[in-house]
Structure 1
């Protein structure tokens, strides 16, 4: 079952990447993000399959099952993000039916990849005497989702003109970065079985980390829309005010859409 799912993952991510490349998806930041996800998941799954076929799982200094669940959970979350962002940005812009069909099919294969990775996690957890990895638990999935969403935010923040003009917006970017690092540390501690080494219990560490992240994200949630959509500060409140948003170029996302994308994330 695991081998069949690996093959489905390889095929679906390869097809999504190939079809995306055929319509020039790599030309924009959002397209680059989707292409990176499909390529990364394909390479990671291929390496996992090679390790399992060669029976090398026991040669690693960490729990292979925990690592496998972590990789599959992240791959599922990444493919899910690509399945949502890619069609929203690209499908509406392609008037050529041939490119439109390829974009639809590429999105479909991305969704298939997400389902395959999710099924892999479920199948791995269902094995007898399986010790559930941290990423397969609700707190682990939430931490993984937090880091994936942070990566999506960083894609939009690649345009530094969104925040360099205001210290408050720079603080928001710092918040996203700090919370991303803290969540990554928590995941790495569990993956490396180091969660019992800190001087305080890991459960207490998680609670403190969660409270700190909530406080930081709250400040960003308030400051980002206040300084990005405040007309008194010269910002554009309505999407129609941004002339770039009327452009029909699929390889770029207008400033107003980038500002809005970061806000709910």
Structure 2
């Protein structure tokens, strides 16, 4: 029998989520009504996807908690809500930077409003992260810990890299193709680790999942080390910035370079922290808990 809980709608986190749904929907509607731009379409598509994804996922969470169906799903609900809130926070802050940078002007009222509201969405999702983490009566999940948050950050940075990649740029030489392979492989495995953790599957695997993750992190650090060197070496070889470049594809190469370094540092930190909690301490959350 379906049991509804109206209390979930009047709790602070419930109110925050309802406002998030409204504001992300407003942003999506404003950007859609402004039309599809004739430039930077990948950035526009990313912004539209983020608004839509955050709106409907937040609405789904509200419905599941309101109907108490969240207790029936076979996953760590706190890990799921924390992972989504963290991801949505990162999405909103990038939109709040990217959208006005590429698509606003002094006469673009709808774009300006969408950009402003995106900053409000960022603030709300940041508040949700704090509320989920501080929610009383629940056991802290893995994704609320530093290694868990780093895994979310790794996948998010990879999404920014994919958004900035241009096939015409990276298909020119095998070196940049290798870098794209590095981004893809590490992204897939990081996403798989998050899904397995949320679904509470690591404890039933026939091997030590913690040590397998450390092995993956070692491989990711090694691969990203090569990408940090190879990508700028080949991407900018005989490829100076055009004089008429105004948010052109050359700038995207810089973004990929910067994000490659960021993800290298994140994977390095993830490796160091994972080694610490698996081999040197036993008091913090691991993937198998």
TM-score (structure 2 length as normaliser): 0.79
Any conservation in 2 of the 1:73–1:135 contact (CA below 8 Å)? no
Q: Of 113, 128, 131, which residue of structure 1 is paired with 2:136? A: 128
**Cα deviation code 1:70-118 (max 9, x no counterpart):** 2222211221221222222223xx3xx331x432321221121122122
Superposed CA RMSD: 1.8
Q: Which residue of 1 aligns with 2:183?
A: 176
Name the SS of the counterpart of 2:131 in structure 1: helix
**1:151-162 residue pairs with structure 2 within 5 A?**
151-157=159-165, 159-162=166-169
Q: Of 45, 63, 72, which residue of structure 1 is paired with 2:85? A: 72
Alpha-carbon separation, structure 1, partners of 2:233 and 2:66: 54
Does 2:261 correspond to 1:261?
no
Name the SS of the counterpart of 2:203 in structure 1: coil
Alpha-carbon separation, structure 1, partners of 2:143 and 2:95: 20
Alpha-carbon separation, structure 2, partners of 1:116 and 1:219: 38
Question: Relative to structure 2, which stretch is displaced further, 254-263 or 19-28?
Answer: 19-28
Q: Of 222, 229, 238, which residue of structure 1 is paired with 2:241? A: 238
Q: Spell out structure 1 runs of 4+ moving beyond 6 A.
A: none
Any conservation in 1 of the 2:76–2:141 contact (CA below 8 Å)? no
Following superposition, the deviation at residue 155 of structure 1 comes to 1.6
Any conservation in 1 of the 2:20–2:58 contact (CA below 8 Å)? yes
| Matched pairs, number | 246
For structure 1, the residue ranges without an aligned partner over 5 or more in a row are: 247-252
Q: Which residue of 2 aligns with 1:249?
A: none
Q: Which residue of 2 aligns with 1:13?
A: 24
Does 2:216 correspond to 1:209?
yes
Alpha-carbon separation, structure 1, partners of 2:26 and 2:256: 29
Q: Which residue of 1 aligns with 2:155?
A: 147
Does 2:98 correspond to 1:81?
no
Name the SS of the counterpart of 1:230 in structure 2: coil
Any conservation in 2 of the 1:73–1:118 contact (CA below 8 Å)? yes
Does 2:74 correspond to 1:53?
no
Any conservation in 2 of the 1:29–1:155 contact (CA below 8 Å)? yes
Following superposition, the deviation at residue 18 of structure 1 comes to 1.8
For structure 2, the residue ranges without an aligned partner over 5 or more in a row are: 1-11, 260-289
Q: Which residue of 2 aligns with 1:166?
A: 173
TM-score (structure 1 length as normaliser): 0.86
Does 2:225 correspond to 1:218?
yes
